[in-house]
Amino acid sequence: MHNAAKLLGYAGLLPFIGIPILILTGQIYYYQGYTYFIQYSTIILSFFGGIHWLDALQNRRKNHQLYVAMLPSIVGWSSLVFLDGYLLLSVLSITYIGMLMYDKYVLALEKDILIDYTFLRTILTTIVVICHLFMASI
């Protein structure tokens, strides 16, 4: 896996980590930070469907993968519209974990790329879920 991909993946954690810090240090109000956090979380979650969309199209799959590729966007958007508070943070977290599991078992990447990708995604997803838990606790 390219170092740039790893760097961008880790850089993507900055809002997940930074927003709670800004709230705790009084730089932004909780509601404002919460809003930024869930908006960012939903955008990043939507991104994870893209790899399945590409994989399904490239490998000419006619199975569930093309449909599952849309789930992160649909779940994220509908959660923003219909949920809030702990329930919203929980649904986003569960969807991150679900997409990670789906990635591990469905993606048709070369073995060495798949190993690197799932390792990176496991680290990133773990940190993201911890940040969601942290946001629920402050």
Q: For residue 19, give every residue at least 6 positions away whose Cβ sits within 8 Å of its Cβ, in sequence order, or none.
A: 28, 33, 36, 37, 40, 135
Task: Give pLDDT, residue 111.
Answer: 87
- Tokens 């240090």 belong to 25
C-alpha span between 17 and 83 (Å, rounded): 22
Answer whether 0.85 is exceeded by the pTM. yes
Task: Show the domain range for 63.
Answer: 3-137
Report the C-alpha gap between 117 and 15 in whole angstroms.
Answer: 21
Count Cα atoms within 13 angstroms, Cβ side, for 95.
28
Nearest by Cα to 93 from 60, 121, 118, 127? 127
Residue 1 scores a pLDDT above 80: no
Q: Which residues contact 36 (CB under 8 A, 6 or more apart)?
A: 15, 19, 28
Tokens of 120: 């990176």
Residue in the block written with tokens 């923003």: 80
* Total number of domains in the chain: 1
Q: Give the confidence band of 96 by pLDDT, cuts at 50, 70, 90.
A: very high
- Taking only the tens place, the pLDDT of each residue in 104-119 is 988 888 888 889 999 9
pLDDT at residue number 130: 98
**How many helices (H) and strands (E) are present in the chain, helices listed first?**
7, 0
Which of these, 30, 130, 40, lies nearest to 85 by C-alpha position? 30
Interval 56-93: pLDDT, tens:
888 887 678 888 999 999 999 999 999 999 999 999 99
